[in-house]
Amino acid sequence: MTTVSDARVVRTREALRRAMTELAAESPLDAITVRAIAARAGIGYATFFRHYADKDALLSEVADLLIREFMTEVRPLLMQRDRRGAARTIVYFVLGHLPIYKALIAGGSGETVRAEMLRQTLVTMAATRQRQPEGPLDDFIFFHIVSAILNQLAWWLRHEGAIDADAMAEIIERTVLTPVSDLRQNPPKGL
C-alpha cells in the first residue's frame, strides 16, 4: 500500500479527512458520494481508493481521531469522583473544538457518526478497562452513559446558545452521571 511517510500521502489524507468532515456537516452520510469527497478534497476520484477502501473507512478514521483526542482529555476526569468537574470538562472540551464537533456530532450525518463513535468508544474502553465488568449492569451502564451524553451533546450543539455551558454540565451531571452512580451503588434487587 501507500507509504505513510511520503508528504503527498499525508497531504492527500488530510484533505480527504477535511472534506469528509465538511460534507458530513452538510448532508446525511448516504447522500455523500465518493466523487463529491474527492472533488471537495481536490484529488482524483480513483485516488480516493488508494487510501480508503470506501466511505465508511474514511469516516471511521475521522471518528477515531476525534475519540482519541476526546478521551485523552476527558478520561482522567472520569476516573476521579468529581462528577460535576467531569461534566464541565466534557462540555468545555466540546465548546473549545466547536467546528469539528458540531459538524460531526450534530451535522447532517450526526446520526451515523454518533453510532460510529459509540461503537469505537465501547471497543476502546473494553480494551483498556481498569477493572472487569462485574455483570450485565456494568455493560448496560457504560452503554447508557456514552450514548446518552453523545445524544445530549448533539441536541446542545444543534441548539447552540439555548443553554449555557455551565447549565449543560449541571444537566449532564444530574441526568446521567449521578443517577448512574446511584444505580451502581444500590443496584436493583435480582442483579
5-44 footprint of its own copies as x/- string (CB under 8 A): -------------------------x--------------
Nearest CB to DNA, comparing residues 42 and 133:
42
Q: Least separation, in Å, of the C-beta of 148 and DNA?
A: 32
DSSP code at position 189: T
Verify binding: residue 54, its own copies, rule CB under 8 A: no
190 binds, among DNA, its own copies, none (CB under 5 to 8 A by kind): its own copies
Distance from C-alpha of 10 to C-alpha of 2, rounded to nearest angstrom: 10
> What x-and-dash track marks residues 112-131 binding its own copies by CB under 8 A?
x--x----------------
CB within 8 A of 22, min separation 6: which ones? 40, 103
Number of Cβ within a 10 Å radius of residue 22: 16
Residue 150: CB partners within 8 Å, gap ≥ 6? 105, 114, 117, 118
* Cell numbers found for residue 168: 449543560
Nearer to its own copies by Cβ, of 6 and 182: the residue is 182
User: Could you count the other beta carbons within 10 Å of the beta carbon of residue 75?
Assistant: 14
185 is a site residue for its own copies (CB under 8 A): no
Asked whether position 7 contacts DNA by CB under 7 A, the answer is yes
C-alpha cell at 40: 471537495
Least distance in angstroms from the C-beta of 43 to DNA: 3
Query: Cell triple for residue 31?
Result: 447522500
Nine-digit cell string for 123:
471497543
Contact between 84 and 165 (Cβ < 8 Å): no
CB of 6 to its own copies, least distance (A): 34
Residues 98-157 that bind DNA (CB under 7 A): none
Q: Count each helix (H run) and each strand (E run) in the chain, helices first.
A: 10, 0
The interface with DNA within residues 39-68 (CB under 7 A) comprises: 42-47, 49-51, 53-55
- Selected binder of DNA within 27, 28, 35, 72 (CB under 7 A): 35
Is the CB of 8 or the CB of 159 nearer to DNA?
8
Site of interaction with DNA (CB under 7 A): 1-3, 5-9, 11-12, 33-35, 42-47, 49-51, 53-55
